[in-house]
Structure 1
């Protein structure tokens, strides 16, 4: 069976949260958000190893999470770059050489499920690359710099892209290296792979797979996690 690795990107500063603590280190029902994200992959049978990419100076704190919470699948903690794209590339360089497929995941999406991950991997193996996504709920507008609405795309064709995003390791590495040579910065890894000429397919996920970026997101996450725990006890 081809080995699957995960790159968890947690090098951001989380400025939208306010305060001094980066969002990935904020407590979520008693554990750091990042620790809960790593635990999700720890319990997935299809995942063989995890590379954790962190911000400069954050290595010791994140290594402490690994020891404290028994995260045995995390085989490397590496320092990220100035931007997310550079951080993912550092993660690629640190993958176990035996890993053929890689999932790139945000460190502040702790509610990723085994089912979503398995479906994303299956779609990537079938098509070459796949991402978890959800249809947008609101009407989306294309807006010009002065605030004028330029156009309204058909909402049925617009999806909000999440993570994980799954690729063959060599394809994602080649896409990153092409972007570096051409000084191109994308907003996600799928964008780089698309730009390199490979089709990327969508797997429908869930709205629960929230990226925690605001205080309101954290409140919702606390509520959801507490509800999940109550459900286990029922």
Structure 2
């Protein structure tokens, strides 16, 4: 089996909370669609051997055209997803030929290369890993009547992001066992945890946001502008 890293980018959702007719992953961020920004991060990494993009059935053709237009040579397949995110991941998983796999949200375009590498290295040591950040706010557990019933210790709480890294064989087993009983998890880590595999947390960046609402898009434009200014300053310093 190929020793490089396989990537499944999940981009099949409609994203109704964005409030746009166009799916959020295909909205423009500065000069290109959000999904292309995401794909480019992984396409540049030497450790990545192949990328599978899972998208909506109606979007496969245009996504394939963008892969060619933006020279994303590590994208080996663009396939249509399933009715749930979990089903889309499973379909992408079946197309991967590497020993290790990362699952990443198509609408997280600001993930850092160094965090991707750290997540991979942790998985090699422990068996599975997820990128995450410590929760900043105090979290309350609330009952059905809106009454606070508990305040968990904030130091033990992390907001889970992607990428999430696993052995292909482990993730395949986790998905198949979940399917056998009709279990649908909120992320892939949850499925792997269910079959007893330890999953380590790797601290990432608070800028690795998932673009879900119009406010997120405004913040994304700010981040992208700041990145451009930083690159400009660096280039001037070399003159």
TM-score normalised to the size of structure 1?
Answer: 0.97
Equivalent residue number for residue 189 of structure 2:
190
Equivalent residue number for residue 136 of structure 2:
137
Equivalent residue number for residue 101 of structure 2:
102
**1:143-182 residue pairs with structure 2 within 5 A?**
143-182=142-181
**1:8-47 residue pairs with structure 2 within 5 A?**
8-47=9-48
Taking the aligned partners of 2:113 and 2:47, their CA distance within structure 1 comes to 9
The answer to whether residue 198 in structure 2 is matched with residue 199 in structure 1 is yes
Cα offset for 1:67? 1.1
Taking the aligned partners of 2:148 and 2:182, their CA distance within structure 1 comes to 30
Contact kept in structure 1, 2:57 and 2:79, CA below 8 Å: no
Contact kept in structure 2, 1:10 and 1:52, CA below 8 Å: yes
Taking the aligned partners of 1:57 and 1:218, their CA distance within structure 2 comes to 23
Cα offset for 1:145? 2.0
| Stretches (4+) displaced over 4 A | none
Q: Unaligned 5+ residue runs, structure 1?
A: none
Equivalent residue number for residue 225 of structure 1:
224
Cα offset for 1:143? 1.5
- SS of aligned partner of 2:20: coil
Taking the aligned partners of 1:143 and 1:80, their CA distance within structure 2 comes to 34
Moved more, 152-161 or 55-64: 55-64
Taking the aligned partners of 2:181 and 2:139, their CA distance within structure 1 comes to 30
Cα offset for 1:38? 0.3
Taking the aligned partners of 1:187 and 1:137, their CA distance within structure 2 comes to 21
Equivalent residue number for residue 4 of structure 2:
3
Contact kept in structure 2, 1:104 and 1:164, CA below 8 Å: yes
Q: Unaligned 5+ residue runs, structure 2?
A: 234-239
Contact kept in structure 2, 1:2 and 1:101, CA below 8 Å: yes
Equivalent residue number for residue 117 of structure 1:
116
Aligned length: 232
Contact kept in structure 2, 1:123 and 1:203, CA below 8 Å: yes
TM-score normalised to the size of structure 2?
Answer: 0.95
- SS of aligned partner of 1:58: helix
Taking the aligned partners of 1:212 and 1:46, their CA distance within structure 2 comes to 26
